[in-house]
Amino acid sequence: MNFPYKKVGVVPKTGKPGIQELISKLSSWFRQNGSALFITEENEFEAVQRVSREDFVNQAEMILVLGGDGTFLRAGRLALNRDIPILGVNLGRLGFLTEITVDELFPVLEKIKTREFSLEKRPLLQAQAKSGNQTLFEGHVINDAVISKTAIARLLEIETRVNQNFLALFKADGLIISTPTGSTAYSLAAGGPIVFPTMEAIVMTPICPHSLNQRPLVIPDHFVVSVHVQASENVSLTLDGQSVHLLGENQYVEIARSPYHLEVIKSPFKTYFDILKSKLRWAEI
């Protein structure tokens, strides 16, 4: 029985010790199992085919991530418009998206080969920076959209509306609007809740609010969140820590459900709760 995905793109974190040896082993394994492994041309690894980024996106039937959550987010942005399934292999320590360890990698590939695996469809968000009815910047959000200061300054006054109804004037260092997948990232560090990654929800978490009465909030993702920063000088909108737009005067941010999903290949050996217990050390006494 051959591997079900014939063309597998790999997105590695460069500079990791042993990464070349691992890619060589993977390339050999995929060849033996009727599949081809390839990589984008800006990466220089031996024993693996290099293709353009456009060909990578158009040809990949599955993406294999070798790195941490940042590498996973970079790979996820390549997969969005084609629903390409992603398998994340963690080469670091703390990683909620890259849930497979290196020791588990080849046993997991064998499980995929025998079709003993499941796909998890995770909802995403779409963020737009607007001026009036004109969209100036937009992108899809796997983890979070962060509205924050670009320099040390006074607290921001962040007027937030849900479905055009006024919600709050957050006085804070910023506001994190995250997907359930991103609830274990920056939002969690800022005091936000952990939300199961397949739930259809939007998590809003103020960053260091001036008032302790301003708490994180979870709402359905069919709602639309509008954010206007009063005196928006030196304020940025950052998507997944990778794409940045400086907000100009009279610009505002609109967050809504994305038409895309992220398809994650789940580990056949552990659940999401096992990952939480391990990463957050809940099982320690």
What amino acid positions are annotated as catalytic residues? Answer: 69
* Geometric angle at alpha carbon 15, from 10 and 16, rounded to 5°: 75
Helix, strand, coil in percent for the chain, rounding step 5: 20, 40, 40
User: To 5 degrees, how large is the angle CA 165–CA 171–CA 173?
Assistant: 120
CA 20, CA 46: separation in Å to the nearest integer? 7
Neighbour-count burial of 142, counting CB atoms closer than 10 A to its CB (0-12 exposed, 13-18 middle, 19+ buried): buried
Token pair, residue 209, equals 């609010």
How far is Cα 269 from Cα 249, in angstroms, rounded to an integer? 51
The length of the chain is 285
Q: Which residue has the tokens 């920076």?
A: 129
Cβ atoms of 59 and 9 closer than 8 Å: yes
The single-letter DSSP state of residue 237 is E
Please state, in angstroms and rounded to a whole number, the distance separating the CA atoms of residues 155 and 174.
8
Locate tokens 């590498």: which residue? 71
